[in-house]
Chains A and B, each alone.
Chain A
């Protein structure tokens, strides 16, 4: 009986992985980049991290998070919320309230503040935009109850666009990257990521490289 499907041998897979790794390194080099991790992991070129559905021959080229400066808002809120109960107690607004209730109220308030800060941090840390040699992944950790993972193949993308509008974005060199796809999900977004024009450059080069290799049948 004729074989319908013959799985590739481990040596072939290894060679394929090596080839793609070299290609990714070449693309990164051509874009004027080098393997590096900066801004507390917000801009990571050729990282060693892995993600859940990563295939054997898939190499992560870019791992991006929002610029750390975007966290300033919630950090200031947390500081204010930590100070607030002590200010209220010192002002003596609740003179008739027994101390045990004040104490428990403060503890609960501080725990809730800690939870808020932790949730905001998780939202930043786990909302990542990953560019591999084959596809783009947009992981959105909106809050503790909702997360969304969107995929887009590099050979299905239209021209990616970057934008950096406003004082902070220009000053700290971060902005948005929008990638139009031909799939069901029309746009993949990386909001507030560092060096958006570099990201667009690398995505375009990877897409071209994938196209070239497809044409020569690799």
Chain B
């Protein structure tokens, strides 16, 4: 009985370790995605200056929305996983 209990504990610890590593990978990946979202934001701003178009404001707004969603996704990964 004691051997079985010990084995269960080891398995739980192993599972926790794997989950922590997977969670860490998710978060690191999503943080990199946030950096990319910032690049998108910067590029839309630069291109908006290059050509003053009719939809520049809408594009900028969408880029901000995308950035906000990327941050939310990091928060979701921290909370859910």
Q: A residues bordering B, Cβ < 8 Å?
A: 41, 49-52, 100-101, 103-104, 107-108, 111-112, 114-115, 118-119, 122, 125-126, 128, 139, 141, 144-145, 147, 149
Contact B50 A145 (CB under 8 A): no
Q: CB-CB < 8 A to A139: which residues of B? A: 50-51
Contact A49 B51 (CB under 8 A): yes
Query: Which residues B29-75 have CB closer than 8 A to chain A?
Result: 29-30, 33, 36-37, 39-40, 43-44, 47, 49-55, 59, 62-63, 66, 69-70, 73
Contact A103 B80 (CB under 8 A): yes
By the criterion of a CB under 8 Å from any partner CB, how many residues of chain B are at the interface?
Answer: 30
Q: Is the interface of A mostly helix, strand, loop or mixed?
A: helix
Give the nearest-CB partner of B39 in chain A. A144
Q: CB-CB < 8 A to A145: which residues of B? A: 39
- 10 nearest interchain CB pairs? A50-B52, A126-B47, A52-B50, A100-B80, A51-B51, A144-B43, A49-B52, A144-B39, A49-B53, A100-B81
**Further 16 A-B residue pairs, CB within 8 A, beyond A104-B77, A107-B73, A115-B40:** A52-B49, A52-B50, A104-B81, A107-B76, A108-B26, A108-B29, A108-B73, A111-B33, A115-B36, A118-B40, A122-B59, A126-B50, A144-B43, A147-B47, A147-B50, A149-B50
Q: B residues bordering A, Cβ < 8 Å?
A: 22, 26, 29-30, 33, 36-37, 39-40, 43-44, 47, 49-55, 59, 62-63, 66, 69-70, 73, 76-77, 80-81
